Amino acid sequence: MLRLFKGSPPRILVAGFAAIILIGAVLLSQPFASAEGTALRYLDAIFTATSATCVTGLTVVDTGRYFSVPGQLILLLLIQIGGLGFMTMSTLIAIVLGRRISLRERIVLQEAMGQQHMQGIVDLIKRVLQYSLTIEGIAAVLFTIRFANDMPLGQAAYFGVFHAISFFNNAGFDLFGEYRSLTPYAEDPFVNIVTMALIILGGIGFVVIKDLLEYQRARKKLSLHTRVVLSMTAFLILFGAAVFFIFEYTNTLQPLSWRGKILASFFQSVSPRTAGVNTVELDDLRQASQFFLIILMFIGAGPGSTAGGIKITTVAALLAGVRTMLQGKRDIVLFHHRLAPDRILKALTVATLGVALVVVVTMVLSVTEQASFIRILFEAVSAFGTVGLSTGITPELSDIGRALLIFTMFAGRLGPITLAYALRPKQEKDLFRHPEGKLIIA
């Protein structure tokens, strides 16, 4: 696969994802991909292919009604490739064919998986496929059993497989039609719990899953990365559910039973962190709730996962830095481990670039689109965080708005730093250091 591309690992990742999107767009624009046999506009095909490959879930056409079965299967393939990463898929193909993974390919894999070390990267890729197929397979069976109560068994099995892959990869595409998502199952504990489990497992990252599975038979000690991801995930889910429950108790949650209120609160806390599935109408939420979901979408989930956003480890590092500054200490510490200064600098860079991109996209969309500011901001952050939640304005976007969100989804999936490294010219190494200066920071 790497022989098709030249350049640094970031450039290879950008070129690889772009190639998959273009191929997917060509296929989705063909008449056979449409249920009515009509060709989809190429801009809309690129938007849909980008949304699927970047596991976002924003749609300009109704997935369940517009696309034929072949078109839906193309979407499913794009979701799987995008969720696992094109380098992961190409490496697995190379392993099956018995080809040796070169050093250059291992370096790109290290970049794609967000790993600090190259050691064991090929073994991790093998486990990624094993974990993914196992989790998706179990979820597909569970969904099939549940959906068989509402539809014929064959259709239930198809729906089970599609939604298991879509939800585990945090894509958010669904086949229920009319942009309903999972609102018909708002009070169904089975569908809610299985879906939330898929979203969480897909969002914590494959490194964390591997660490948890090897906990008993290996070190019996979790890595710092795993502890930070799990603790931040638990905190955001519990805190998010409590905030949503309070804000929406007399609004969208009012018609639901107590069980439904609790399920909906937890679901809307889990999903915005990159899944793009909802059980209540987002356009009916109070603005305070919509803004809170925007914050969750911007944060995202764990690195090396199917999730987007600036990642919860970035937020944890920044919060630890703030705490250290307020306490007047020197070292930034998390779980009794000192963080290197370059980790904090990278976290600050990721957050700053993320904010800058969202601000620019929101400003432009505010000029080109006819919608309230909160809905435009919601859409921009949803695209950047590769979430896919929408207040309903995506199908109404202008061509400029659609093109802008295509770029935003692409940048959000690859990460602002990876995209910046890929686009920058070759840097010459500094041969000297400037003298240290003093800058007053308020």
Rounded average pLDDT over 244-261: 94
Predicted local confidence at residue 71, as pLDDT: 95
The whole-angstrom distance between residue 349's C-alpha and the CA centroid of its chain comes to 19
Question: Comparing C-alpha atoms, which of 351, 183, 383, 206 is closest to residue 268?
Answer: 183
Rounded average pLDDT over 347-357: 93
Radius of gyration for the alpha carbons in the chain, expressed in angstroms and rounded: 22
Count how many Cα atoms sit within 13 Å of the Cα of residue 165 in the half-sphere of its side chain.
Answer: 23
Rounded average pLDDT over 397-414: 93
Domain extent listing, the chain: 2-422
pLDDT single digits (tens) 197-222: 999 998 888 888 888 887 766 556 88
Rounded average pLDDT over 217-231: 82
pLDDT single digits (tens) 146-180: 999 999 999 999 999 999 999 998 888 999 877 88
Q: Calculate the dihedral angle through the C-alpha atoms of 278, 283, 285, 287, rounding to the nearest 10 degrees.
A: 130
Question: What are 338's strand-pairing partners?
Answer: 333
pLDDT single digits (tens) 58-98: 999 999 899 999 999 999 999 998 887 655 665 665 555 55
